[in-house]
Chain A
Amino acid sequence: MKELICITCPQGCHLKVDDENGYTVTGNRCPRGEAYGRAELIHPTRMVTSTVKCTGGSRPRCPVKTSGPVPKDMVFAVVAALDAVELTAPVRIGQVVLANVCGTGVDIVATKDI
């Protein structure tokens, strides 16, 4: 039995995951918690947020995020890949700024109009 704190929302439910019996999750208050508890033990993933360089706009950085979760052990690689990205304003919110980052199948998208 593994104890976890759910990170899917600010409620922070205290989960118990039975890793010896099919990863059954208890302590969750919503289905997202169940999915998180299972995934966290089998193949943990994280959303990544960061910035990329952006010229010609009101600020020198554009905030970005992964379009979905990436494997937890890929987080640093994903962030490093952003060093090479340089945008030019205008940038639209939701715009893909780096497709299929590190071969994860996940895109990096802008989270702000610049």
Chain B
Amino acid sequence: MYDVLIIGCGIVGAAAAFELSKYQVRVGILEKENDVANGTTKANSAILHAGYDPLPGTLMARLNVRGVALARELCQKLDVPYRACGSFVLAFTPEECATLDTLKARGDANGVPGLGILTGDQARSMDPQLSDQVQAALYAPTAAICSPWEYCLALAETAVRNGARLHLETEVTGIEKTGGGWLVHTSQGDFSARYLVNAAGVHADAVHDMAAPHAFTIRPSRGEYYLLDKAEGSRVSHTIFQCPNRNGKGVLVSPTVHGNLIVGPNAAPVEGDDTATTAAGLDFVRTTALKSVPSIAFGQCIRNFAGVRANTEIHDFILQEKDGFVDAAGICSPGLSAAPAIAEYLVQLLNDAGLALEPRPDFVCERHRTRFKELSPAQRADLVAKEPAFGRVICRCETVTEGEILEALHGPIPPRSVDAVKRRVNAGMGRCQGGFCGPRVVEILARELHLHPEDIQQDKKGTWLLWGETKGGSAHV
């Protein structure tokens, strides 16, 4: 019996678990995939938005501004890659210049610090590759970039270290109200809890409908991206937006905390979690981005991907509680930015509904992982002398060592797949996209998890890599 069961371990579920784990509350997390951060959280722009977009007075506005302020501190404590790079919204026409004024007024009303409107020349002096067609720009110094999956992982790991229990590959199939709370049917049996938190992302409407009358519909909107090689990573030093339109914040160009350049997204309605990329979508992203930064070398693309945003017909986050069932739904952009503030809000809702919040005296709020690449030569020498596995480079592109992979495998949420390793230590994230290190990661996973290499998945369940053994082995069956 849990006090609180969280359904979904994306950024919102993980932040909620982290926030709850500060208290003496029995917390469980049900995640249908074999890893955390496996939905929208792993496929978005990775931007912590300053907060000038949402309309004043909305939950979105309030939680976005508070969320990015919390993120700065959290990322530092939990060792999450974070960079306060600031952002520009570009205006190319007099109408767009007027939009900048509206955005600035909104941001001022939302309490976004430090907003300023710059001339095109001022903006270009700060980011010289901006188009000479740029007439003005809204500068937001508090916008930042982060590693969204590591952010989610860090929150979830910290929650687990503080007693929360994570159930992976546990898909919710039904929910029943009971006398003392809720009974949740899953692919791994039944779980009971006094309170439920619905953080199921794109599936939040379906989960809601299992527990309560239909109230909202998620209308997934797909965004496609280019991720470019580090050779393009310093093409811009700020996150570059164009003026928002009815489809959202539009195509951005931004450095990433990993040193790459990210370009995207478009916005197209899709069914469910369809994250396919399309020739037309990528074409649109490319041509639109070139308007902001004409010099982007798309030939340096190392990966295309798409993510699905959990939009609803309500233009705000849906954070509500009834009978101990709490929705955290419609968490589209700026959900990543707002996540820790959403978590605070959810915990308040639970508290209001009767959940006692007794602080956990031994709450641990720190996390550290070894990043060999970032160490000085002297530190590297010390580390390898102590622990030789840090001397074996597995991923050449990102300089990731076997020691880092082993460290992840002994962490609070051990990786079960090749991509789970990638999300923890960056192996396979570089320009060769796992061409070299993939087979080696499979070998390490098989060895450490005592599995046959054929059972190692690329990512989710069903993403098998190897058909079978040659020479009379399983490949011939």
Contacts and interface: CB of A to CB of B under 8 A. Distances in A.
A–B touch (CB < 8 A): the answer is: yes
Instruction: Label chain B's interface by main secondary structure.
Output: loop
B470 A61 contact: yes
B471 interface: yes
A101 interface: no
A83 interface: yes
A95 to B, nearest CB: 17
Nearest to A85: B471
B470 A84 contact: no
B472 interface: yes
Identify the interface centre among B470, B471, B472, B476: most chain A CB within 10 Å of its CB. B471
Contacts of B472: 53, 83-84
A108 interface: no
Nearest to A60: B469
A42 B471 CA distance: 32
A61 B471 CA distance: 9
Interface string B234-270: 0000000000000000000000000000000000000
A82 interface: yes
A83 B470 CA distance: 8
A52 B476 CA distance: 15
A61 B472 CA distance: 12
B454 to A, nearest CB: 13
Interface string A48-79: 00011100000001000000000000000000
B143 to A, nearest CB: 50
Contacts of A82: 471
A83 B471 CA distance: 4
B348 to A, nearest CB: 57
Interface in B445-477: 470-472, 476
13 contacts: A51-B470, A51-B471, A52-B471, A53-B471, A53-B472, A61-B470, A61-B471, A82-B471, A83-B471, A83-B472, A83-B476, A84-B472, A85-B471
The 3 closest A-B pairs by CB, nearest first: A83-B472, A53-B471, A83-B471
